[in-house]
């Protein structure tokens, strides 16, 4: 982020943006591989839809919510907790549906 030969960010701001970018890429990979695996499961259409949408929604909220909060300099507070809560609920719901099917298909 250079403008007219000088950086717009301090060293700590640059490191924070690197972490946020890495987090967004990580969430994208998680969503890609989850989508790849969920299609191979013996789930009904409604279960696949709920699991997929919950992962997608959690990924969007996390990938855009965290940098947005940082860009707007909103440290802590209810917004940060809301982003974390929405992400956690989305990932837990999708993972629960996925693992439930795995346990159900396992031979006794």
Average pLDDT on 1-14 reads 64
- Beta carbons of 96 and 63 less than 8 angstroms apart: no
Q: What's residue 36's pLDDT? A: 84
Q: What's residue 74's pLDDT? A: 57
Rounded Cα distance, 50 and 72, in Å: 31
What's the pLDDT tens digit per position in 43-98? 888 888 888 888 888 888 887 877 777 777 655 667 777 878 888 888 898 889 88
DSSP structure class, residue 108: -
């Amino acid at each position: 982020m250079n403008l007219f030969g000088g950086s717009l960010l301090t060293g700590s701001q640059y490191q924070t943006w690197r972490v946020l970018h890495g987090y967004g890429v990580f969430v994208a990979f998680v969503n890609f591989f989850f989508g790849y695996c969920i299609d191979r499961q013996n789930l009904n259409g409604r279960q696949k839809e709920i699991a997929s949408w919950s992962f997608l929604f959690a990924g969007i909220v996390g990938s855009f919510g965290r940098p947005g909060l940082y860009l707007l300099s909103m440290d802590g507070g209810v917004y940060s907790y809301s982003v974390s809560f929405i992400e956690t609920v989305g990932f837990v719901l999708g993972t629960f549906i996925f693992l439930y099917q795995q346990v159900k298909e396992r031979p006794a």
